[in-house]
Structure 1
């Protein structure tokens, strides 16, 4: 079973349920290496240890060779944008400086109310999207991805950055194109895809550059204003750094939340007793989201990490400069850490999952993603009467890293008023 197990995990035929393969991978030991591909760590405690290990680099420039890599993350497009790498792909001290500067207008201690104060606005976006589905007049067939979980986070990012409402439609088009580059159609022309993606990146970059210049002259209190005018202990961001950070917030903040909401609704529809509990008690959305981040995490694995020195782990030497993969979703189902790990249980105690990473590269937008998912799932549970899956499993995205349904066809008897 272990022969070619990574290729099986990455193969699209495994996308709907990779968890049996993760179980087989864990049986080989904490560290798996087939002599040719990357070193793969699949167990909870070892993954968490490496996420906190300063010898592990996220900067691809430290990778000795890309030979043998099985995964293409779409970096060929990103590399041609002329933007500096986002802090997600940097190591300290550059990572720490940029993350601190980005956090000043986003979260505690400098902006403790930024996410909390968006709750009412987020609720209004959710209501508007569900109302639009109701107005369409066919509750018997809804594509939850296209009509709800996809447009919701990108609208939120627009509001967070301060994109004028009249420009949100353009922003949605760019987000659609960039998301498609992360999840390419295997039957599409790759040359055309790259051309289209580069065009969208260029247009988005030019738009953001203009908006940053405007906000620098006339700040309005949104994050783009704060990033472009902020002066703290680390100084000010350059225009290129603001551009890179804004692009990161759009892509990373959008894609993970789409999958979290979609995986969440799929899981709830497969567990109707939990959905009924959520309908009766919206506060249950908080522990439900935490268990979802363990049970069906939106980011399945972190590829292309690189040791800066030889690392010994459970009798295996992971060489300096080698390609290292951390299978977060496997760690979340590790029976050495979680009792009955394949059971979805929102009452599970001590859910210290890896769904949002850990250590210095833990998900920057975690507070916002959690709030978006909790509001979305609780309102869908309340307003959709007798919801049901129309296709199970649904069609999944091609991407093995950002795993989630490409479409989620559901139906309900009717949509209740807000």
Structure 2
């Protein structure tokens, strides 16, 4: 048993963001539990094997609530997200432990059941068709992210929440900045802008409630359902950011994988019934989330013979786990007919992504639409680079020729 406390931490650089699977390939064999330093300067332990990752994601000895973490993320001069994101944006269920997590998740859980999401199919298909029409008109070359992958899920989540769509482009800028490894002052500015935006939005929903989820959340808070104003703002922030980020990168990463694997694309085009299974493989092969959100050890925990001491930050590699050959044979190969069940792209345990049914439906509709409308689509230039984020794994651009 080792702690590797004295080993030099691994510095995550540009190559890691563009191709994390390459780093994980070696780490799973040689250093499956390793100390690392992110672009913001945060030092943490990183877990890369599937079995360890699945266990860690459901381990009650690792907490999420920043209020229970000594120093509230600022110990040893580190500068992680909680120091630059205002308090009003971080008190959401993804940063909560039971019983608060249970209470917060219950408030919105009914809106994200498979049955509730299935009712959205006609509207999502309509949006996808309109976006494909726009691509046709803008062609013959477009950035697939700008013209399709971003506006599809953003339009859907804005309609679900009741958010004015004329704010979506600036929201995208804030989201990209906040989830990046950029300078603290830039991320702090984005956080302040988001806080102001959500405060104004919640005040408007309180004064003029509608038939949307955010109005329902505000009503729950006003009815004394143990939801504070900061929790209301944080819930809106989480649902809007998580409600589009995952799907944007599922579509972008998945289409890039298909464009680079023409035989798989041809197979999918010839049999569209394979699309739902292909979506699961895209999630496994090059998922939209790199390292899961932060956890903190309350006592020593052991994985693959390495003990992580108490009082340490831990990030679980979802991409590393999903490419583990111990779990998936020939894991570095895209195979749209593979049984990809059990992948960790949406996490595992009590923090499993609440919006997974919505992301899956949007992904299915997106790929069906794009394959049917643009069977000859090809890369027009080198994509990327990837966003410099330990959390989000996605491209900054995906130029295609229709």
Give me the TM-score of the superposition, normalised by structure 2. 0.88
> For the structure 1 residues 38 and 77, does the alpha-carbon distance in structure 2 shift closer, same or farther, using more than 3 Å as the test?
closer
2:153 is aligned to 153
Matching of residues 115-194 of structure 1 within 5 Å: 115-136=117-138, 138-139=139-140, 141-163=141-163, 167-183=164-180, 191=185, 193-194=186-187
1:213 equivalent in alignment to 2:211: no
Q: Deviations over 1:7-55 (max 9, x none)?
A: 1xx2113332221210111112442248994222111011101111111
Alpha-carbon separation, structure 2, partners of 1:147 and 1:302: 28
Which segments of 5 or more consecutive residues in structure 1 lack a partner in the other structure? 413-418
Deviation at 1:344, TM superposition (A): 0.7
Tell me how far 1:398 sits from its aligned partner: 1.6
Provide the C-alpha distance between the structure 2 equivalents of 1:34 and 1:411, rounded to a whole number of angstroms. Answer: 39
Q: Does residue 367 in structure 1 map to residue 357 in structure 2?
A: yes
Shift in Å, 1:81:
5.1
Q: Secondary structure at the match of 1:367?
A: helix
Task: Choose the corresponding residue for 2:48, options 42, 50, 59.
Answer: 42
Alpha carbons 1:395, 1:405 under 8 Å: kept:
yes
> Hey, what's the Cα distance between the residues in 1 that align with 2:372 and 2:83?
43
**1:380-395 alignment runs, 5 A limit:** 380-395=370-385
Q: Is the 8 A contact 2:9 2:34 kept in 1?
A: no
Counterpart CA distance in 1 for 2:388 and 2:43 is 20
- Gap change, CA 1:84 and 1:68, over 3 Å in 2: closer
Q: 1:77-103 CA distances to partner (integer Å, 9 max, x unpaired)?
A: 42x253561110111111111011121
Q: Aligned partners of 2:272, 2:135: CA distance in 1, in Å? A: 21
Partner of 2:95: 89
Instruction: Name the counterpart of 1:405.
Output: 395
Residues 228 and 236 in structure 1, CA contact (< 8 A), matched pair in contact too: no
Contact 1:5-1:21 at 8 Å conserved across structures = no
Shift of 1:146: 1.3
Comparing both structures, which one devotes a greater share of its residues to helix?
Answer: 2
**C-alpha RMSD of the superposition:** 2.8
2:259 is the counterpart of 1:269: yes
The equivalent residue for 2:82 is 75
C-alpha distance in 2 between matches for 1:375 and 1:253: 16
Shift of 1:300: 0.8
Q: How far did residue 343 of structure 1 move?
A: 0.8
* DSSP 3-state at the match of 1:99: helix
| Unaligned stretches of 5+ residues in structure 2 | 1-6
1:282 aligns with 2:288: no
Distance 1:69 1:267 in 2: 40
Distance 2:203 2:342 in 1: 42
Instruction: Return closer, same or farther for 1:343/1:73 CA change in 2, 3 Å cut-off.
Output: farther
Distance 1:344 1:71 in 2: 38
In structure 2, the CA distance between the partners of 1:347 and 1:87, relative to structure 1 (3 Å rule), is same
2:384 partner SS: coil
Query: Matched residues in 2 for 1:343 and 1:84: separation?
Result: 37
* Match status 1:202 vs 2:209: no
Distance 1:207 1:172 in 2: 17
The residue number in structure 1 matching 2:282 is 292
CA distance in 1, matches of 2:43, 2:158: 39
Give how far 1:74 is off.
3.8
1:307 counterpart = 2:297: yes
Deviates more, 1:382-391 or 1:13-22: 13-22
Select 2:233's aligned residue among 228, 236, 243: 243
Given candidates 52, 61, 80, the residue that maps to 1:55 is 61
Residue-by-residue CA offset, 1:156-210 (whole Å, 9 max, x unaligned)? 11111123xxx31124323332323323667xxx64x346414521331233212
Q: Distance in 2 between matches of 1:58 and 1:47?
A: 16
Retained in 2: the 8 A contact 1:157–1:250?
yes
* Contact persistence 1:31–1:40 (CA under 8 A): yes
Residue 106 of structure 2 is aligned to residue 100 of structure 1: yes
Verify the 8 A CA contact 2:10 2:34 in the aligned structure 1: no
Change (3 A) 1:242 1:122: same
Question: 1:25, 1:132 → 2: CA distance?
Answer: 43
SS at match of 1:302: coil
Instruction: Tell me the number of residue pairs that the alignment of Structure 1 and Structure 2 aligns.
Output: 390
Of 344-353 and 198-207, more deviation after overlay is shown by: 198-207
